Structure 1
């Protein structure tokens, strides 16, 4: 009698649970040591690129974020893809007409690395309104891998987030609240050229600090002030607290600027509608909750 194999997988995609071993201090030390290897130079617009300008990167990364949201990618995919984009643009001049092709290919690589089911080349071509072909994308994939020496598993702010949340010793529900706010800030930083040259740990720590400040420590059940929390995070990443506070202020300014831009771009006066453009699957927190 011939047997049959039944598959009883859940309809929703299964993901591995967080391993507590990965939250040990030695892992954080290794991340801090390795992050500089994957930090792109913010000078590539002046020193390498001849046709690419910061506003073009802003438009491209915003499009990449929309693709990730529409495809319901994990939160790790977008920062990973943008890190590949910045490192590639740091070493090779790119024609303006091929910039979207580079961004789409970086999304493909990050999706293959982080997702069990990656975004397809066909879908990426469709999202670009077929401005490039599948053949061009495969060729660009090999070029990017070659220029990055096949080292695309970069250290991003998302890698530091669990460590910093653990340091705050919050309850489970409050930790999730801070995480969602911090992920919103990290997504904003990833699309903003101001933060290209900053270490991933600083972006993550400043994002968590900004989230704690906006949510207010007393509402989170914390016994320390927001300034004390910022100092604690600065100590964890071996950084001057004043520099971390400056980065936090820059993040808050970036959020305010994005809200103003979203409001001015829409014909309605409703602030809630403007916020809807900023908030997607990877940035689920209501930005109106932030205290600017």
Structure 2
């Protein structure tokens, strides 16, 4: 590891502090109450299946791993904010991945919504994904970006290079 001087260490501390402040104000995790996520009918196993499916889709579309992390973060934040029903979980999940891809990926690799529907076999329509996209954006006040552990690792890596 490269020795970092006082200015570099102050910059690193400042960037990490900014990331932590952002995380503190935005971080929401769905809490389980009994056998479901509080306020929903989504069980831990359904939640786990949704997260695994997001990873399968990320791989199918060749998105960056960071896109997966952001998609799960968006999913957690929305499930902690709304009373979602299990029957909408696949639509919510694919929309979270779509939003994360729009935030992280190059435009050329982001599929059209109709292609996303067909290839993901999400069992919802393009119109439903677009409505869900608007609902999620509104609930999260259009602020999708949330620092993930990968971001903190990148900050340290950049400051040490």
Cα distance between partner residues in 2 of 1:55 and 1:94: 15
Pick closer, same or farther for the CA change 1:130–1:100 going to 2, 3 Å. Answer: closer
Gaps of 5+ in 1: 1-19, 173-292
Q: Is the 8 A contact 1:100 1:128 kept in 2?
A: no
Aligned mate of 2:48, from 58, 68, 77: 58
Match of 2:39 in 1: 48
Cα distance between partner residues in 2 of 1:26 and 1:102: 35
Match of 1:197 in 2: none
Q: How does 1:1-292 map to 2 (within 5 A)?
A: 24-43=12-31, 45-49=36-40, 51-117=41-107, 118-129=110-121, 131-165=123-157
Cα distance between partner residues in 1 of 2:135 and 2:74: 12
Which of 1 and 2 has greater Rg?
1
Cα distance between partner residues in 1 of 2:112 and 2:98: 7
Gaps of 5+ in 2: 1-7
Q: TM-score, normalised by structure 2?
A: 0.81
Deviations along 1:135-192, one digit per CA (max 9) or x if unpaired, are: 111111111111111111111111111234468x6xx9xxxxxxxxxxxxxxxxxxxx
Pick closer, same or farther for the CA change 1:33–1:67 going to 2, 3 Å. Answer: same
Q: Is the 8 A contact 1:28 1:160 kept in 2?
A: yes
Which structure carries more relative contact order (alpha carbon 8 Å, separation 6+)? 2
Cα distance between partner residues in 2 of 1:89 and 1:133: 21
The runs of at least 4 aligned residues of structure 1 exceeding 6 Å deviation read: none
Aligned length: 147
1:71 shift after superposition: 1.3
Pick closer, same or farther for the CA change 1:160–1:130 going to 2, 3 Å. Answer: closer
Q: Secondary structure in 1 aligned to 2:124?
A: coil
1:38 shift after superposition: 2.7
RMSD: 2.2
